[in-house]
Chain A
């Protein structure tokens, strides 16, 4: 039974070990000979020193839809920041005589030359129904200018500007350009849309920012410290999540005093939206903290004497930032749709404030729709914005963890 000995002494995985034994006395310089061959190509070197964010970006840019959506979002963001630049006139200016003017599309060429113009419209009252009927008159041209000057506005409160994307070429005349037509009160749909974009997008984003702050804070406390405080926060989240959202939103928004200024209503609505939004995020953050607490690299930092603040800030939060950004991006469209729906029902933002939902209120009955389908354009923008946010969010989520592949 002599052959038992090696079997016992050398369970699997041991043979090479025994072979290596004579080398024990050698120096560490020898250790270098064990080195796996160096990655030599430039590409490999480039990858090996790529930070997490670089890797995320490399993966994200491969996703064509997400990249296109990012461009769309950047465009929407400029509208949010500079609605005056895009507007052709004041969004509040009413003119009963110019109600329901149809879309005036830009013609680029005039007598073979690049000279953009819009046809003017002529209204005739139908003798039977007394309705205004607008016809475009292609012979009457209103020339337009891009990046021309018109009324002045302040850019982010930093400086004044009077440059506009589109304005009438003839500075002496009042702008009569209705790129997307007008509504019941003769207000310019295009300019209103620019301002509505500002309100609706910021409501979405601010309520998500509030959610993120609350979610990070409460989820982080819950996950990092655990114990009774975790218990309380978890029960609170369960309570909030078990409330039926639509009735709660309806009740809360309906309770906002009619006398409140649009700014007050704006903030009240962001808070109402964020009230539930943070719970999902807090859950996610808590879960991340719980699993990260068990990670060896966190223990290593702990054993090297790092402070709790350093462990949280340097080791834990960076590990899930990209996930939080992806989740937040996906939460924005939900907020936008909610705000739009509430405003559409007359419970969210209310005139004179302009939001997508407020604008869609104008498109509430079939007759108007048949007569003025351009009043639905805010709906189109909502769809574009929601799609773009979702595609970017999905792209980010997929790119967020380069180490999982």
Chain B
């Protein structure tokens, strides 16, 4: 059971690969200002006490509906934004663990090469005024590789790695399709040999036919380069395809984290179960993908008391309305934040068939 600032590592798996990244009690509140004097009237609890860890070489999927805070979590981890509170423990290659949360711009520079990002929007993530060479070589340049020929060799190698022709270097992004641009973005992310790659919905803006290609490329690269992925998606099937373990978020909170098989077969949180039962709407990015649940997704600006899911949970009891459940390990490597996690018998995807729901 984890409480306070205790590390979240599973007891049984402590001997397994050490975590590359461990996030503890991460919070990010966005203030809402009103009026001429810009008085703060409220806060959006975009990320509200999230703890998770990523082991070296694995892919951790992060799923949840639109607006639940996935992007905010990943940007906090990469320190693109300042977290409100919490710890982001990052283990460097030499085993030294550093908390990135309190670091400032200049202190972060040392860590930048080790963690990179793959973006969702293949159009917005490449500067239209730069050539592919300039885009992919920028990380090399700013990190000290001043020789142009050296950079050219490097970029050529990176382009080959992501399956693009090296002659494309002189081109501008406007000459490429979405899938090709995403490959360019991946090449840029890999330029500095990162150990952790955060991919924020890297395929959701792509054509369905191209999605699989890019996902497979990512898996190839993971094997070749021993990458660790934090893979954000709102699409369960994509997450299931690529992840070793999966986290589920609901309104800024982490509700469940377990190995992919385990999570899909025997979810222990009512929200996870509902998510898997959901028949997706035509528009997968719509905020409320679960139609079968009563009520609406809670607002992160005005969350309910106790368990944020209680207004919609069919298993809610009195304690759920008053006490916020902590994320705890109920079976080895399976973390749930639900007061009734042990007692509930929830339908997973396989179970679902047999039970004739």
Seen from chain A, the residues whose Cβ lies within 8 Å of a Cβ on chain B are 1-2, 4-5, 7-21, 23-24, 26-32, 34-36, 38-39, 44, 47-52, 231, 295-297, 299-308, 310, 315, 318-319, 402-403
Contact among A21, A24, A300, A306 for B220, CB-based, below 8 A = A24
Whether B165 pairs with A35 at a CB distance below 8 angstroms is yes
Tell whether B257 is near chain A: CB-to-CB under 8 Å.
no
Query: Are A28 and B170 also in contact (CB < 8 A) when A296-B124, A300-B188, A304-B143 are?
Result: no
Whether A48 pairs with B174 at a CB distance below 8 angstroms is yes
Seen from chain B, the residues whose Cβ lies within 8 Å of a Cβ on chain A are 38, 75, 78, 80, 105, 109, 112-113, 115-117, 119-121, 124-129, 131, 138-139, 142-143, 160-165, 170-172, 174-175, 177, 179-180, 183, 185, 188, 191-192, 208-213, 215-217, 219-221, 224, 235-238, 240-241, 276-277, 279-280, 282, 284, 349, 352-353, 356-357
Point out the residues of chain B lying under 8 angstroms from A17, CB to CB: 208, 211-212, 215, 237-238, 241
Whether B212 pairs with A303 at a CB distance below 8 angstroms is no
Distance in angstroms from A38 CB to nearest chain B CB is 7
Whether A38 pairs with B165 at a CB distance below 8 angstroms is yes
Distance in angstroms from B351 CB to nearest chain A CB is 11
Whether A13 pairs with B208 at a CB distance below 8 angstroms is yes
Point out the residues of chain B lying under 8 angstroms from A304, CB to CB: 112-113, 116, 138-139, 142-143, 188, 191-192
Query: Are A310 and B161 also in contact (CB < 8 A) when A51-B129, A403-B174 are?
Result: no
List of 9 A-B pairs having minimum Cβ-Cβ separation, nearest first: A31-B163, A48-B175, A20-B212, A304-B139, A11-B280, A296-B125, A305-B112, A14-B237, A297-B127
Query: Are A305 and B175 also in contact (CB < 8 A) when A9-B237, A35-B165, A295-B124 are?
Result: no
Whether B125 pairs with A300 at a CB distance below 8 angstroms is yes
B78, B127, B220, B356: residue with the most chain A Cβ atoms closer than 10 Å: B127
Whether B180 pairs with A36 at a CB distance below 8 angstroms is yes
Whether B128 pairs with A13 at a CB distance below 8 angstroms is no
Contact among A7, A29, A403 for B128, CB-based, below 8 A = A403
Across the interface, name the chain B residue whose C-beta is closest to A308: B105
In whole angstroms, how far apart are the Cα atoms of A2 and B356 in the complex? 9
Whether A305 pairs with B113 at a CB distance below 8 angstroms is yes
Whether B139 pairs with A23 at a CB distance below 8 angstroms is no
Contact among B113, B171, B183, B277 for A49, CB-based, below 8 A = B171
Query: Are A13 and B235 also in contact (CB < 8 A) when A1-B356, A5-B353 are?
Result: yes
Whether A31 pairs with B353 at a CB distance below 8 angstroms is no
Distance in angstroms from A116 CB to nearest chain B CB is 51
What are some 25 contacts across the A-B interface (CB < 8 A)? A2-B353, A4-B352, A5-B353, A7-B279, A8-B349, A9-B240, A11-B284, A12-B280, A16-B209, A17-B241, A20-B215, A21-B241, A26-B216, A30-B163, A31-B162, A32-B165, A35-B180, A48-B175, A49-B171, A51-B129, A52-B129, A301-B127, A305-B109, A305-B112, A319-B129
Across the interface, name the chain B residue whose C-beta is closest to A44: B175
Across the interface, name the chain A residue whose C-beta is closest to B105: A308
Whether A49 pairs with B172 at a CB distance below 8 angstroms is yes
Point out the residues of chain B lying under 8 angstroms from A9, CB to CB: 237, 240, 349
Across the interface, name the chain A residue whose C-beta is closest to B210: A34
B185, B208, B277: residue with the most chain A Cβ atoms closer than 10 Å: B208
Point out the residues of chain B lying under 8 angstroms from A18, CB to CB: 241
Whether A32 pairs with B163 at a CB distance below 8 angstroms is yes
Across the interface, name the chain A residue whose C-beta is closest to B280: A11
Query: Are A303 and B208 also in contact (CB < 8 A) when A8-B277, A11-B284 are?
Result: no
Query: Are A28 and B220 also in contact (CB < 8 A) when A13-B235, A49-B170, A304-B139 are?
Result: yes
Whether A297 pairs with B219 at a CB distance below 8 angstroms is no
Whether B279 pairs with A12 at a CB distance below 8 angstroms is no
Whether A16 pairs with B208 at a CB distance below 8 angstroms is yes
Whether B174 pairs with A26 at a CB distance below 8 angstroms is no
In whole angstroms, how far apart are the Cα atoms of A319 and B171 in the complex? 17
In whole angstroms, how far apart are the Cα atoms of A302 and B112 in the complex? 9
Whether B220 pairs with A16 at a CB distance below 8 angstroms is no
Whether A16 pairs with B165 at a CB distance below 8 angstroms is no
A14, A29, A297: residue with the most chain B Cβ atoms closer than 10 Å: A297
Point out the residues of chain B lying under 8 angstroms from A231, CB to CB: 38
Whether B208 pairs with A51 at a CB distance below 8 angstroms is no
Across the interface, name the chain B residue whose C-beta is closest to A311: B142
Point out the residues of chain A lying under 8 angstroms from B208, CB to CB: 12-13, 15-17
Point out the residues of chain B lying under 8 angstroms from A28, CB to CB: 160-163, 217, 220-221, 224
Distance in angstroms from A367 CB to nearest chain B CB is 57
Known: A36-B180, A304-B138. 19 other contacts (CB 8 A): A1-B353, A7-B279, A8-B349, A17-B212, A20-B216, A28-B161, A28-B224, A35-B163, A35-B165, A48-B174, A51-B131, A52-B129, A297-B124, A300-B117, A300-B185, A304-B192, A305-B142, A306-B138, A306-B142
Contact among B126, B172, B179 for A51, CB-based, below 8 A = B172
Across the interface, name the chain A residue whose C-beta is closest to B78: A303
Across the interface, name the chain B residue whose C-beta is closest to A306: B142
Whether B188 pairs with A13 at a CB distance below 8 angstroms is no
Point out the residues of chain B lying under 8 angstroms from A4, CB to CB: 352-353, 357
In whole angstroms, how far apart are the Cα atoms of A120 and B117 in the complex? 80
Point out the residues of chain A lying under 8 angstroms from B129, CB to CB: 51-52, 318-319
Point out the residues of chain A lying under 8 angstroms from B236, CB to CB: 11
Point out the residues of chain B lying under 8 angstroms from A36, CB to CB: 177, 179-180
Distance in angstroms from B197 CB to nearest chain A CB is 11
In whole angstroms, how far apart are the Cα atoms of A32 and B180 in the complex? 11
Point out the residues of chain A lying under 8 angstroms from B237, CB to CB: 9-11, 13-14, 17
Point out the residues of chain B lying under 8 angstroms from A30, CB to CB: 163
Distance in angstroms from B81 CB to nearest chain A CB is 10
In whole angstroms, how far apart are the Cα atoms of A174 and B285 in the complex? 83
Point out the residues of chain A lying under 8 angstroms from B165, CB to CB: 32, 35, 38
Distance in angstroms from B160 CB to nearest chain A CB is 8
In whole angstroms, how far apart are the Cα atoms of A270 and B38 in the complex? 36
Contact among A12, A16, A31, A307 for B217, CB-based, below 8 A = A31
Whether A48 pairs with B143 at a CB distance below 8 angstroms is no
Contact among A48, A297, A302, A318 for B125, CB-based, below 8 A = A297
In whole angstroms, how far apart are the Cα atoms of A118 and B242 in the complex? 88
In whole angstroms, how far apart are the Cα atoms of A176 and B102 in the complex? 82
Query: Are A50 and B163 also in contact (CB < 8 A) when A13-B235, A304-B139, A306-B138 are?
Result: no
Across the interface, name the chain B residue whose C-beta is closest to A39: B175
In whole angstroms, how far apart are the Cα atoms of A16 and B117 in the complex? 25
In whole angstroms, how far apart are the Cα atoms of A34 and B115 in the complex? 28
Query: Are A23 and B352 also in contact (CB < 8 A) when A48-B175, A295-B124, A306-B138 are?
Result: no
In whole angstroms, how far apart are the Cα atoms of A48 and B75 in the complex? 32
Distance in angstroms from A24 CB to nearest chain B CB is 5
Contact among B38, B175, B179 for A47, CB-based, below 8 A = B175
